[in-house]
């Protein structure tokens, strides 16, 4: 009996890693709102150009945070924070690739 309990704990069978229905509903509503805001602002020509890009990037970042907190339960993670470290490494790699690509396309002029 004790080995079954240890086996269940080793595979995360305890219910500490899942959110409540309230948490999921809040995350869902925030996600919908953060999707609608830039859509309405851009489609109704309320913001244009650089302002539209800023609104889009800010709401995209907030959407990312909402997804991490409410659906991936990053805040509920116990130590050590392997998932957070993996996420930060992935973000660093993506930013390096994107910024490096933009830099190469900007300064690699032939002529």
Selected residue with higher pLDDT from 8 and 92: 92
Please tell me whether residues 70 and 110 are part of one structural domain.
no
Please tell me whether residues 47 and 92 are part of one structural domain.
no
Q: How many domains does the chain have?
A: 2
Please tell me whether residues 40 and 83 are part of one structural domain.
no
Q: What DSSP string runs through 2-20?
A: HHHHHHHHHTT-SGGG---
Structural domain containing residue 49: 2-76
The beta-carbon contacts of 76-80 under 8 Å, at least 24 apart in sequence, are 76/16, 76/17, 76/19, 78/16
pTM attached to this predicted model: 0.62
- For the chain, give the mean pLDDT: 81
Please tell me whether residues 87 and 108 are part of one structural domain.
yes
pLDDT of 10 = 47
User: CA distances (Å), 82 to each of 78, 90, 96, 108, in order?
Assistant: 9, 12, 21, 38
Q: Per-residue pLDDT tens for 36-89?
A: 999 999 999 999 988 988 998 899 889 988 888 888 877 766 666 777 788 888
């Amino acid at each position: 009996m004790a080995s079954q309990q240890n086996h269940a704990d080793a595979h995360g069978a305890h219910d500490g890693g899942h959110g409540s229905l309230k948490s999921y509903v809040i995350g869902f509503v925030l996600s919908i709102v953060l999707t609608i805001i830039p859509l309405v602002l851009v489609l109704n020509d309320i913001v244009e150009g650089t302002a539209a890009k800023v609104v889009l990037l800010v709401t995209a970042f907030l959407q990312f945070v909402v997804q991490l907190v409410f659906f991936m339960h990053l805040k509920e993670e116990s130590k050590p924070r392997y998932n957070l470290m993996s996420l930060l490494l992935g973000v660093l790699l993506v930013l390096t690739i994107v910024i490096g690509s933009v830099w190469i396309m900007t300064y690699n002029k032939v002529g």
